[in-house]
């Protein structure tokens, strides 16, 4: 009888423990309803960081004013900082990291140059130098070898360079999209260029705001006028991201009006090749960066006045933080979202 009672007690305890583990597992698998905020790191620089490239949950690179590059290899616990080629007066607003050692960094403004490091930032090699008319605005890589850098129009055409060897050599596309007079790009987050597969998307602003599109790696081009505010040099598309290659999400507005949410975003259907109708909800001000976090089907957008998210593909937006940032990107391993901003600010999304 005693042994039977002991056996029953053991079975009850086992069942209780299984229940606890099951509840914990279920809770861990439940998707959060919204982002909590940002974990802001203590970094060793006060540079304005508009270039951002998170490789994984552990490896993140950033670049910006005063020739600054910065990286973490341990998820933000420690940071290494330095100068790109000793150029302490240049703003590097575009950066793409392949890993902890190999990185492409691009200037915004003069001199318009592209650099590469293969030793984790210890040394940088000049890969391209452009004319004094050039101003580079953004960068996008399709895979480990092929990528694009674009700049403001020169001679009536957009400037788009392609690399096929991980940034060692760059060639200007033979066919370049034409620009309207007064049309320009924005280097606020280096993310108004998006390339995937054979397709290239470029968002513009200024006198006119268009979504320029090539279905064949730049051989031919189409353009679609955007619904975002335009007409002034401070207005238009500032950032693009894709939802499953079926929709292109564009954010922006007027950077001189940081809290104005007038026509500051849009969604373009890649199937119908038309801008979709949007609701009355919108991000709460000018937004310079947007990214998709597929893990929870969230769009995350940032700007100087705060950050917003959408969990329905942009139909509705909610503000979840008043922290200001320039750029936001999902890590390429899909596990985290990072943002960068003024005065050396780097943060990781909390959810």
In order, the DSSP letters of 59-79 are: -EEEEEGGGEEEEESSTTSS-
Q: Quick one: pLDDT at residue 278?
A: 87
pLDDT at 261 over 70: yes
Mean per-residue pLDDT for 216-228?
A: 98
What integer is the mean pLDDT of 154-177?
98
Contact of 137 with 185, CB cutoff 8 Å = yes
* Rounded percentage of the chain residues whose pLDDT exceeds 90: 89
Least confident of 2-6, 23-27, 70-74, 300-304: 23-27
List of residues 6+ apart from 59 with CB closer than 8 A: 71, 72, 73, 97, 99, 100
Whole-number Å distance between alpha carbons of 283 and 52: 21
Q: Record the pTM.
A: 0.91
DSSP letter, residue 330: E
CATH class of the structural domain 39-350:
mainly beta
Q: How far apart are CA 184 and CA 186, in angstroms?
A: 7
- Give residue 3's pLDDT band: very low, low, confident or very high (50, 70, 90): low
Residue appearing with tokens 């500032």: 238
Nearest to 278 by CA among 264, 292, 288, 294: 264
Please tell me the predicted confidence (pLDDT) of residue 19.
Answer: 46
Neighbours of 30 (CB within 10 A): 8
Read off the pLDDT of residues 72-117 as tens digits, 9 standing for 90 and up.
Answer: 999 999 999 999 999 999 999 999 999 999 999 999 988 899 999 9
Lowest-pLDDT range of 4-18, 47-61, 276-290: 4-18
Instruction: Domain ranges for the chain, please list them.
Output: 39-350
Specify the pLDDT at position 31.
84
> At 252, is the secondary structure helix, strand, or coil?
strand
Sheet arrangement for strand 289-293: 289-293, 298-303, 306-310, 318-321
Spatial distance between the Cα atoms of 167 and 323, rounded to a whole number of angstroms: 34
For residue 22, give the 3-state DSSP assignment.
helix
**Residue 72 · residue 79 · CB < 8 Å:** yes
Listed in sequence order, the residues at least 6 apart from 252 whose beta carbon sits closer than 8 Å to its beta carbon are 186, 203, 205, 209, 228, 229, 235, 236, 237, 238, 239, 264, 265, 286, 287, 288
Average pLDDT over residues 166-176: 98
Q: What is the pLDDT of residue 25?
A: 43
Report H helices in the chain: 2-29
Greatest distance between any 2 Cα atoms in the chain: 96
Rounded Cα gap, residues 314 and 298, in angstroms: 9
Instruction: Answer for the pair 67, 87: CB distance below 8 angstroms, yes or no.
Output: yes
Report d(CA 230, CA 207) in Å as an integer: 6
CA-CA distance, 43 to 180, in Å (whole number)?
41
193-206 pLDDT, tens digit per residue, is: 999 999 999 999 99
In 179-332, DSSP assigns E strands to: 183-184, 193-196, 199-203, 205-206, 210-214, 222-225, 235-243, 247-254, 265-269, 274-275, 289-293, 298-303, 306-310, 318-321, 327-330
Q: Can you read off the two tokens belonging to residue 261?
A: 């949410």
């Amino acid at each position: 009888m005693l042994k039977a009672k002991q056996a029953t007690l053991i079975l009850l305890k086992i069942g209780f423990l299984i229940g606890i583990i099951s509840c914990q597992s279920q809770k861990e698998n439940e998707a959060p309803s919204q982002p909590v905020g940002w974990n802001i790191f203590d970094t060793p620089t006060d540079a304005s960081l508009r270039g951002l490239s998170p490789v994984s949950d552990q490896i993140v690179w950033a670049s910006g004013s005063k020739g600054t590059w910065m990286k973490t290899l341990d998820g933000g616990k420690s940071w290494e900082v330095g100068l790109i080629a000793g150029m302490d007066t240049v703003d590097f607003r575009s950066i793409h990291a392949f890993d902890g050692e190999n990185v492409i960094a691009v200037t915004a403004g003069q001199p318009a140059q592209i650099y590469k490091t293969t030793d984790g930032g210890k040394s940088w090699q000049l890969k391209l130098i452009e004319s004094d008319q050039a101003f580079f605005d953004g960068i996008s890589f399709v895979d480990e070898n092929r990528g694009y850098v674009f700049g403001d129009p020169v001679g009536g055409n957009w400037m788009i360079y392609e690399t096929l060897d991980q940034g060692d050599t760059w060639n200007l596309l033979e066919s370049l999209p034409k620009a309207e007079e007064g049309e320009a790009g924005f280097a606020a987050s280096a993310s108004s260029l998006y390339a995937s597969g054979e397709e290239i998307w470029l968002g513009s602003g200024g006198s006119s705001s268009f979504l320029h599109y090539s279905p064949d790696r730049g051989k031919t081009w189409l353009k679609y006028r955007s619904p975002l505010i335009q007409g002034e040099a401070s207005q238009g598309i500032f950032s693009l991201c894709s939802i499953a290659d079926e929709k292109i999400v564009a954010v922006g507005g007027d950077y001189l009006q940081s809290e104005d949410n007038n026509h500051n975003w849009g969604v373009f259907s890649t199937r119908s090749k038309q801008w979709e109708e949007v609701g009355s909800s919108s991000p709460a001000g000018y937004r310079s960066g947007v990214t998709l976090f597929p893990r929870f089907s969230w769009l995350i957008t940032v700007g100087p006045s705060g950050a917003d998210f959408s969990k329905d593909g942009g139909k509705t937006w909610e503000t979840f933080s008043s922290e200001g940032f320039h750029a936001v990107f999902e890590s390429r391993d899909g596990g985290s979202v990072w943002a960068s901003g003024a005065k050396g600010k780097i943060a990781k999304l909390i959810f």
